[in-house]
Structures are given as C-alpha cells and as structure tokens.
Amino acid sequence: MNISATELKQQTHLLNSVQQEDIVVTKRSKPFAVIVDYEKYQDILKELNSKKIKKKLEALESLNSFHLGGKDYSQIKSEAKI
C-alpha cells in the first residue's frame, strides 16, 4: 500500500493493516518510509546477519591460511579451543 505522510497522519487506523501488507509512506511523491510488522522485520534482520556472517566466512576460507600476530589462524583457533 502506498500512502502519503499527510494521509497517514490523518488516518492512523491504516496502520492496522500492517500485518497483511507492507505500507510505503511517501513524502512529496517520493518513498519516505516502509512500515512492516515486527516478525517480518526480525526475519529480515536474521537474513542480513546470516549473509554478513557467510560473506566473512567465505572471505576467510578464500585466504586459506593467513597470519594474525605471527600465528596462523588455525593455530589461534586450536589454542582458543573453539
């Protein structure tokens, strides 16, 4: 649903439909905000975090072996008993 910021201020009851669909709030015909229900927001955050972690792990794996403070990553990991 697209709605202007002014319409949203005047018709706050429209926020009741957030669970059925996302609401895009526009200001001067440009997207201003997107309103989503809390569960969907949490799902989006989990997906973003998992993508960040996966990207970091892929970067580490592509290096195969790298050094931190003169020690190999695998040595540091084994000393930490992870």
Handedness of CA 77, 51, 20, 35 (dihedral sign): positive
- Nearest in space to 22 (alpha carbons), one of 52, 43, 6, 46: 43
Tell me the per-residue pLDDT of 43-65, one tens digit each, with 9 for 90 and over: 989 999 888 888 888 887 777 65
pTM of the model: 0.49
pLDDT band for position 81 (cuts 50, 70, 90): low
